[in-house]
Amino acid sequence: MALAPIPEHRDHAHPVTSPALPGGERLDDPLETAHVARGDEVQHGDGVLTNWHPDRCLRVSNRALECWHTAQQGPCLGGEPVHSGPRVLSLWHARHSSEGQRPHAAPSTRGLPLAARSRGMCGIVGIVHSDPARPVPPAVIRRMCDAIRHRGPDDEGLYVQGAVGLGMRRLSVIDLAGGRQPIFNEDRSKVIVFNGEIYNYRELRRVLIARGHAFATQGDTETILHLYEEYGPECVQRLRGMFAFAVWDSAARTLFLARDRFGIKPLYVAAAPWGIGFASELKALHAVGLTDRALDWDALDTYFQLGYIPAPATPFCDVRKLEPGHTAVWDHTGGLSTRQYWDLPRERAPAPRDLEAQVVEWLDESVQAHLVSDVPVAAFLSGGLDSSAVVASWALAADAPHAFTARYFGSGAASADETHLARRLAAQYGVKLTEVDIHPDVRDLLEPITHAFDEPHADESAVPTWLLSRAVGASYKVALTGIGGDELFAGYRRHIGLLVGEHYARLPRTVQRGVSALANLLREPRGASLTVDRLKRLLRPGNGSAPERFLGYLTRCPDSARRGLYAPELRHHLSGAGASVRFRELYQRHGAPAGLSAALYLDYKTFLADDVLALSDRMAMAHSLEIRVPLVDHELVERVFPLADHVKIGLWQNKRLLKRALRRRLPEQHLHAPKRGFVGPSAEWLRRELRGVIEDELAPARLERLGYFDPAVVRGLLDDHFSRRHNRAGILWALLCFSVWHRAYLESPTAPAYARRWEGAALRGTPSSSPA
């Protein structure tokens, strides 16, 4: 990819010598005390860099340029890098010894370019105080890292210098030392922590070397840092990949945060007058009191409508998600300011003459870019069109992959299972296929899945994704999926429904109400089919606006029913808007006329980012597995998204373009198989295997104790579902997940509010400096 010209922002800062933490000072910090009680120790002193285990201390010179190459290998206490030393090495040996080794059963990626050195996924954390005289306790950063250890079990790195603390956990690919973080620039005035993969980093590295930058490592993390030196905040425009990173500039005392274009990697932010905290997962902020337990009920009302919380909101008032395609800059005087650096194309593009061949070429290029790895890579193969397209492209470019698919058992299995399609494709391309059994008794999974999510999240596909990730993660560190194909090529049933609904919306409202009332009389069939439920959604009367009609297809619980769900005391404090305000805002941002393009834009900005990608990241990273998504690649998206609606979809045929492009690659039955989606038969599970669980979690006594919901209304929802009068699986699953989440996050001991250490009071409300 050619590098587009971007205004130069070369930073020629002079070396900065940071003051050491006061020698021997003990902070009155319960977290630090807790670490000392476990036998840990923090030593501060001029020129002394320590691990928190006193027998693993390291003395390093403060001459930045002389020790730069050495310093790049690790994190810092007192401003210099230190790693976990023998503790991390022993963990690495345990992982790779004959007894604890991950089996490398995957075929090689022969014929594909390999990364020169290690790269790996991780989790990042950080805290910066507005007052430079108030140091960040190292134990706080350690506890944040401990909370996300699953994201990077192989390595840990810290940088603690006065009022700044950064940390990371790393899932290494190979060469443990080469990719360690935090990483500094040449004069050590800037330091970075990074989570993700940059697929074009080698090209960027060559350009930067030509411009005079000196590199101490071979990985992508240092490339981003030098790119930031060269181009400032505009550096993100040049990155191809998935990423969330933070750069601390000690000379300017600014913190720069960035998140990839689609939100593949997460980033949470808590900003207040005392300073700012950030983390890859909410649990890292919660572990040190940065969430403060104050619930944002307008955000939670949206959750009960959609099953997830769209960015920038979170369930807590004082924490926000940095939106996809956004950067943020924090400084101690002006708080936090955010900026959108990328959006989906607005202009329509003409289709090239050989469009179908071009689509295949674009797909193959993206898959090949995402296969760059030093370790074996696996694949998720549901049997659907998107994952089949990825696996077929891979198999044609290199040795056939090892793929994993879900096989359902028990009630409702026939409606969800696509094993026969996965087997057919595997046989055609010589793919090794492992079938992972999904049984309906998933009660033991609810708590670990909820803990992995951090937020209430009610997408039932979390169950098969968790089980597949656990199976894949036992043998691999990297896997490809077909996520993103439905948004790119218009593959959801709602996209067909949107076209039909445009005609239905032209009928008089009285006719719409009558038809909807008749549809509501239909009872659910004995099988697990969702046909009746989808028909009812389609026939709900709309107010005529495009975002409202589209929101109707996504809604688990309509506004009228949702208002009655809440207890009267809570109901009066809600705006009642749900997701409507957010959808209208995004619709106006894009500026496209009503139609498929607008719907796909809303899908990218809400459902894909905050449901599908969030789910895949949390479920996979809970098992230390890196998920790559070649169909969510900005170079591919920028080519396909601008194509006309009628090119992508027909009145009764979704993904028309993709199906035509792949007709020489995929078996006929794949091209004409009904859309199932990667979800389990949760409606039947709730009626049978999980009935006892949900009745316990939503028992009147528990609901009255919580004080949020009307027990009689919830009982009515349960009765409707059990009797098959209506399919209430969507809202019931949301209530179940919320109850389990509430128990874990708000009914368990937590750290005191972080702000109390500096301000003497807890954070209140949503800080004005949060990203919004």
**pLDDT band of 496, cuts 50, 70, 90:** confident
Q: Return the structure tokens found at 7.
A: 């205004």
More confident residue, 94 or 680: 680
**pLDDT at residue 678, as a whole number:** 57
Q: What is the pLDDT of residues 48-87, one digit of tens each?
A: 222 323 232 222 223 333 333 334 444 344 444 444 332 2
Dihedral angle of Cα 667, 672, 673, 677, to the nearest 10 degrees: 110
Report the alpha-carbon distance of residue 33 to residue 50 in Å, rounded.
17
For residues 165 and 243, state if they share a domain: yes
DSSP alpha helices (H): ranges in 297-354? Answer: 297-306
**pLDDT at residue 578, as a whole number:** 83
**pLDDT at residue 628, as a whole number:** 97
**pLDDT band of 706, cuts 50, 70, 90:** very high
Give the containing element (helix H, strand E) for 480: strand 478-480
For residues 198 and 306, state if they share a domain: yes
Report the alpha-carbon distance of residue 5 to residue 200 in Å, rounded.
16
For residues 300 and 390, state if they share a domain: no
* Contact between residue 196 and residue 121 where contact means Cβ atoms under 8 Å apart: yes
- Opening angle at CA 289, ends 123 and 607, nearest 5: 50
Name the amino acid, one letter, at 492.
Y
**pLDDT at residue 51, as a whole number:** 30
Q: What is the pLDDT of residues 659-696, one digit of tens each?
A: 999 999 999 999 988 776 656 678 888 999 899 999 99
Report the alpha-carbon distance of residue 468 to residue 487 in Å, rounded.
22
**pLDDT band of 180, cuts 50, 70, 90:** confident
**Owning domain of residue 93:** 31-102+115-340
Q: How many CB atoms lie within 10 A of CB 563?
A: 15
Tell me if 191 is assigned to some domain.
yes
Q: Which residues are 153's β-sheet partners?
A: 170
For residues 377 and 425, state if they share a domain: yes
For residue 418, is pLDDT > 50?
Answer: yes
How deeply is 70 buried, as exposed, middle or buried, from its count of CB atoms within 10 A (0-12, 13-18, 19+)?
A: middle
Q: Return the structure tokens found at 338.
A: 């955010």
What is the biggest distance separating any 2 CA atoms in the chain, rounded to whole angstroms? 80
For residue 767, is pLDDT > 90?
Answer: no
Tell me if 159 is assigned to some domain.
yes
Tell me if 647 is assigned to some domain.
yes
**pLDDT at residue 542, as a whole number:** 52
Region 755-768 average pLDDT: 42
Contacts of 37 by beta carbon, 8 Å cutoff, 6+ apart? none
Tell me if 591 is assigned to some domain.
no
Tell me if 109 is assigned to some domain.
no
For residues 334 and 467, state if they share a domain: no
Q: What is the pLDDT of residues 622-640, one digit of tens each?
A: 999 999 999 999 999 999 9
SS3 352: coil
Region 402-420 average pLDDT: 83
**pLDDT at residue 756, as a whole number:** 59
Q: Domain ends where: 672, 692, 720?
A: 672
Q: Domain ends where: 655, 672, 689?
A: 672
**pLDDT at residue 6, as a whole number:** 38
Place of tokens 């007052």: 131
Give the containing element (helix H, strand E) for 430: none
For residues 134 and 282, state if they share a domain: yes
Tell me if 335 is assigned to some domain.
yes
For residue 238, is pLDDT > 90?
Answer: yes
**pLDDT at residue 48, as a whole number:** 25
Q: Return the structure tokens found at 273.
A: 């007058």
How many angstroms from the chain centroid is the CA of residue 406?
22
For residues 280 and 152, state if they share a domain: yes
326-331 and 268-272 strand pairing: unpaired
* Contact between residue 615 and residue 465 where contact means Cβ atoms under 8 Å apart: yes
For residue 30, is pLDDT > 50?
Answer: no
For residues 327 and 247, state if they share a domain: yes
For residue 726, is pLDDT > 60?
Answer: yes
CATH number for the domain harbouring residue 180: 3.60.20.10
What radius of gyration do the chain's Cα atoms show? 26
Region 432-460 average pLDDT: 92
What percentage of the chain reaches a pLDDT higher than 70?
74
SS3 227: helix
Alpha-carbon distance values, 81 to 72, 256, 583, 772 (Å): 7, 21, 45, 34
Q: Return the structure tokens found at 24.
A: 């021997």
Name the amino acid, one letter, at 533.
D
First-to-last alpha carbon distance for the chain, in angstroms, is 33
* Contact between residue 570 and residue 704 where contact means Cβ atoms under 8 Å apart: no
Q: Return the structure tokens found at 631.
A: 């169909």
Q: What is the pLDDT of residues 33-52, one digit of tens each?
A: 233 222 233 323 222 222 32
For residues 333 and 365, state if they share a domain: no
For residue 91, is pLDDT > 90?
Answer: no
More confident residue, 592 or 590: 590
**pLDDT band of 642, cuts 50, 70, 90:** very high
**pLDDT at residue 173, as a whole number:** 53
Q: Return the structure tokens found at 414.
A: 């026939």
SS3 626: strand
* Contact between residue 706 and residue 720 where contact means Cβ atoms under 8 Å apart: no
Report the alpha-carbon distance of residue 705 to residue 716 in Å, rounded.
19
Report the alpha-carbon distance of residue 473 to residue 602 in Å, rounded.
32
For residue 110, is pLDDT > 90?
Answer: no
Tell me if 431 is assigned to some domain.
yes
Helix 201-210 / helix 220-231 crossing angle, nearest 10 deg: 50
SS3 307: coil
**pLDDT at residue 246, as a whole number:** 99
CATH number for the domain harbouring residue 417: 3.40.50.620
Check residue 342 and give left, alpha or beta (phi > 0: left; psi -120 to 50: alpha): beta
Report the alpha-carbon distance of residue 542 to residue 408 in Å, rounded.
36
Cis peptide before 75 (omega within 30 of 0): no
> What pTM value is reported for the model?
0.82
**pLDDT at residue 410, as a whole number:** 73
How deeply is 116 buried, as exposed, middle or buried, from its count of CB atoms within 10 A (0-12, 13-18, 19+)?
A: middle
Q: Average pLDDT over the chain, rounded to whole?
A: 80
Which of these, 79, 503, 562, lies nearest to 302 by C-alpha position? 562
**pLDDT at residue 178, as a whole number:** 60
275-279 and 80-83 strand pairing: unpaired
For residues 222 and 187, state if they share a domain: yes
Contacts of 273 by beta carbon, 8 Å cutoff, 6+ apart? 130, 759, 767
Q: Domain ends where: 633, 653, 672?
A: 672
Lowest mean pLDDT among 94-108, 433-447, 639-653: 94-108
What percentage of the chain reaches a pLDDT higher than 90?
56
For residue 532, is pLDDT > 90?
Answer: no
Domain count, the chain: 2
SS3 6: coil
Name the amino acid, one letter, at 168.
M
Cis peptide before 312 (omega within 30 of 0): yes
For residue 298, is pLDDT > 70?
Answer: yes
Tell me if 750 is assigned to some domain.
no
For residues 298 and 424, state if they share a domain: no
Lowest mean pLDDT among 40-54, 136-150, 418-432: 40-54
For residues 130 and 73, state if they share a domain: yes
